[in-house]
Amino acid sequence: MIRWLNDVFVQPLAVLMPGDSKSSPDVATNEPVGYKKVEATVPPSENALDRPTQVLATSFSSIPVIWRSELAQEYRGLGEALGQMTQLDEGDAWKIEPTVYGSACYVAAGLMLSAYPVPQVFNHGSQSVVFNWSHGTSNLYLTISADKGSVLISSPEKIQRRVEFSLTDLVHPGAVLAAIQPSNFEQSAPLRLTATVPEPSEIIG
Amino acid sequence: MELASIPDDDNLFRFCTHPVSFKGKVFSTAKFLLIQPQPDGSFLASLVWERFVPTVGHVHCAGCRLARGMNQNKLNAGKYKAGNKSVYCGAYRVRAGAIRALPAEVSAVEFADVVHRTESGELAHTDLRIKLYPGPDSNIEGTKTQILDRLWNACCGPLRHICECDKEVIPHPSAALLNAPFGACSDTRSWLERWFSLIRYRVYDSLWRKILWRFSD
């Protein structure tokens, strides 16, 4: 979704505003094809006819901001759901321990900063929370307990990868997921990743 | 009581009830395939064996009995409320061989097996038992996710159902069941095999009722 926004809307409109590269830093570094040509045909002007374009451009250039705001809103919803899970009665199948809640929030915050889509959530019991992303028939799971994390990538035929982490390794969970996920999860990948990834221990089988 | 060992090619069914297998109105595969930890360190879940529920109708009858029993237990414990009524939604099918193949797919699993064991007067009841290798698993919660993923990917269905006693439940939660990764259930047995299955079931069922009747005296 974020790529679609960037490629189709944000970049062309930023091209119409060559002097305003600050409004879209992603575009400024990429220099899309046709940049100079558009610049030549649409000279800067104070003419009233330019105003609709300016308004339109301003509106669309705010899309990443809106998207991030929506993402933050969705992650707030995730945080609330996790919080409610800690407050359930003892014996409720959805109850989680406060320490697991803390770890899950820590990881969720990292995922949000990496612009990861909000995951589905489930648990096995009070000792862990599982974040799940599906893409077609493939699944990506991030199992979080109080002090450990486990990433699992599966297809209907087999387990593709399972990688274990201690929670301290998961400072940048988005980067960790991006580093181990196969190409079939590319569409759910975040905007960009700049973090360094710790060396994970991998379990075969 | 184990009447026979279950061949790898035989089918088993896992029942789905609301609210156990749901989070609100949303179906949850994790709760549907919940495997309960046992004191000996193994994990246990309940299935029914197709040999004793030879048709889809028999499967749903057993599912309705299960939900009725759950409601009766809540009633006996004084915990029954209209909001927490157990509603049978349907069943998913899995092959015995797929369950026994778990150790090959999940390295932490020592063995996984299905054993016929009657329970609460239910002739078709079968135990699904999973045992992990002894010693501290580096991440048992991650292993649970792996087991869940493999079991769900081995399932086909759902076989949705609305019991007579749940006709007033609108919208019925069976509509929220997800399609299983292995596809829809299809009965590939020939008419002769189905006929034989039904006759065999009637013999077993008749004997089973006699045993229950004798014990109830």
Which band of pLDDT confidence, cut at 50, 70 and 90, is reported for residue B211?
confident
pLDDT digits (tens, 9 = 90+) for B168-182: 888 899 999 999 998
Instruction: Report d(CA A166, CA A150) in Å as an integer.
Output: 8
Same domain, A47 and A101: no
CA A80 to chain B, closest CA, distance in angstroms equals 15
Mutation site, B149, B155, B178, interface A, largest A CB count within 10 A: B149
Query: A–B: how many Cβ contacts below 8 A?
Result: 68
Q: How would you write B41-105 as a 3-class SS string?
A: CCEEEEEEEHHHCCCHHHHHHHHHHHHHHHHHHHHHCCCCCHHHCCEEEEEEEEEHHHHHCHHHH
pLDDT digits (tens, 9 = 90+) for B95-119: 999 999 999 999 899 999 999 998 8
Same domain, A50 and A87: no
B137: chain A residues, CB-CB within 8 Å: none
CA A143 to chain B, closest CA, distance in angstroms equals 6
Same domain, A99 and A167: yes
Query: Is A137–B28 a contact, with Cβ atoms under 8 angstroms apart?
Result: no
Please indicate if any CB of chain A lies within 8 Å of the CB of B182.
yes
Same domain, A29 and A92: no
pTM: 0.76
A136: chain B residues, CB-CB within 8 Å: none
Nearest-by-CA chain A residue for B101: A158
Q: Is A72 part of any domain?
A: no
Please indicate if any CB of chain A lies within 8 Å of the CB of B179.
no
How many CA atoms, within 13 angstroms, populate the side-chain half-sphere of residue B26? Answer: 6
Q: Is A77 part of any domain?
A: no
Same domain, A57 and A95: no
Q: Can you tell me the mean pLDDT for B64-93? A: 90
**Does residue A175 carry a pLDDT above 80?**
no
Same domain, A176 and A115: yes
Same domain, A104 and A198: yes
Phi, psi for residue B163 in degrees, rounded to 5: -70, 155
Facing residue for A122 by CB, picked from B28, B105, B146: B28
Give the residue numbers spanning the domain of A172.
83-203
pLDDT digits (tens, 9 = 90+) for B16-30: 999 999 988 899 999
Question: DSSP readout, chain B?
Answer: ---SPPPTT-EEEEEEEETTTEETTEE-HHHHT--EE-TTS-EEEEEEEGGGS-SHHHHHHHHHHHHHHHHHHHHHTT---GGG--EEEEEEEEEHHHHHTHHHH-TTEEEEEEEE--BTTBTTEEEEEEEEPSS--TTHHHHHHHHHHHHHHH-EEEEE---GGGTT-SS-GGGGPPPPTT--------HHHHHHHHHHHHHHHHHHHHHHHHHH-
Q: Is A43 part of any domain?
A: yes
Phi, psi for residue A30 in degrees, rounded to 5: -95, -25
Stretch (H or E) spanning A5: none
Instruction: Report d(CA A150, CA A172) in Å as an integer.
Output: 14
Same domain, A56 and A87: no
pLDDT at B137: 62
Facing residue for B139 by CB, picked from A122, A139, A164: A164
Q: Is A73 part of any domain?
A: no
pLDDT at B188: 86
Instruction: Report d(CA A110, CA A98) in Å as an integer.
Output: 19
Q: Is A95 part of any domain?
A: yes
Same domain, A96 and A192: yes
pLDDT at A17: 32
Q: Give how many domains chain A has, as a whole number.
A: 2
pLDDT at A29: 35
Same domain, A38 and A100: no
**Does residue A179 carry a pLDDT above 60?**
yes
